[in-house]
Amino acid sequence: MTDDSNSDLLRALPYARRYARALTGSQTDGDRLVAEVLRAGLPEMAPRLALYAAITRAAPAPHDASLLTPRQRQLLLLTALEDLRLNDAALVVGLGAEEAGFEIEVARTALRAATVTDVVVIEDEPVIAMDIRRLVEACGHRVVGVAATEAAAVALSEQHHPGLIVADINLGRGGDGISAVARIARTMPVPVIFVTAYPERLLTAERPEPTFLITKPFDPMALAVTTYQAITAGRPPIV
């Protein structure tokens, strides 16, 4: 592998970890999966696509396959969360572009019938909080409260026992989103999606980190598929 390829691979690693964590529903399992495919060797593709392809092939079957097939989950995560072009996502999963496009459309339709749950949003910026609320509700879920501080997030979660939390990382003077989630997780296991403008800073595999992470600004489908994964495959986010 050339020096340029090595550099491309290093740049792609944080996003490969995000993809693997989203597929497995666990930081530990996702990071282990990435380590295993690196040891086993990657297919002959561009480094980023090779990582995604190796992870896709080695990923275990999801716990809940009642709504989306494994291939549909993979395609939605690759295109909506990882922002791959259709042709690249098709190459990663081993399908033709036309078939991959069909599977994505079927999956998007199926997501409209996805599991509905109560959601607490943790976000200190009012405009962003309002936008996240709108997107979450567009996915069919119920937002039971919006918290701008760590203390308010804990109180809301204790009151409503949500099925999902969508949390910003940085709450300004109101505290820290990861700290808020860690406090909530002491008393209730709830899947969490973190949103941040700088995902690579939280995908180093050097410490307990978010399992589900989307990049701001994000499109509705990225939130929809990550929400579905968090609810159906999710586990407590800090392990």
Q: What is the pLDDT of residues 148-171, one digit of tens each?
A: 998 999 999 999 999 999 998 878
pLDDT of residue 202: 67
H/E run at residue 125? none
115: left (phi over 0), alpha (psi -120 to 50) or beta: beta
Contacts 24+ apart (CB under 8 A), 12-15: 12/47, 12/48, 12/51, 13/51, 13/203, 14/199, 14/200, 14/203, 14/204, 15/48, 15/82, 15/199, 15/200, 15/203
pLDDT of residue 115: 67
Q: How far is CA 224 from CA 23, 33, 109, 142, 163, in A?
A: 14, 24, 11, 13, 15
Rounded CA-CA distance 25/237 in Å is: 9
Q: What's at 228, amino acid-wise?
A: Y
DSSP string, 30-96: HHHHHHHHHHH---SS-HHHHHHHHHHHHPPPPS--SSS-HHHHHHHIIIIIS---HHHHHHHHT--
Domains 3-111 and 118-233 share a fold: no
Output the CATH code of domain 3-111. 1.20.140.160
The domain locations on the chain are 3-111, 118-233
Tens digit of each residue's pLDDT (9 = 90 or more) over 95-137: 999 999 999 999 888 877 666 789 999 998 899 899 889 888 8
Topology at the third CATH level for domain 118-233: Rossmann fold (3.40.50)
- CB contact at 8 A, 91 and 45: yes
Rounded CA-CA distance 128/235 in Å is: 26
Rounded CA-CA distance 168/156 in Å is: 15
Give residue for tokens 């990435």. 34
Residue 42 backbone dihedrals phi, psi, to 5 degrees: -105, 150
Joined tokens for residue 2: 């050339």
- CB contact at 8 A, 227 and 136: yes
Other beta carbons less than 10 A from residue 67's beta carbon: 15
pLDDT of residue 153: 93
Q: Over its length of 239 residues, how does the chain's per-residue pLDDT go in tens digits?
A: 565 678 888 899 999 999 999 998 888 899 999 999 999 999 999 999 999 999 999 998 766 556 788 999 999 999 999 999 999 999 999 999 999 999 999 988 887 766 678 999 999 889 989 988 988 888 788 999 999 998 999 999 999 999 999 998 878 777 778 888 889 988 888 888 988 877 776 666 665 677 888 887 777 788 888 888 887 764 444 33
Rounded CA-CA distance 54/50 in Å is: 6
pTM for the model: 0.77
Sign of CA pseudo-dihedral 21, 25, 27, 28:
negative
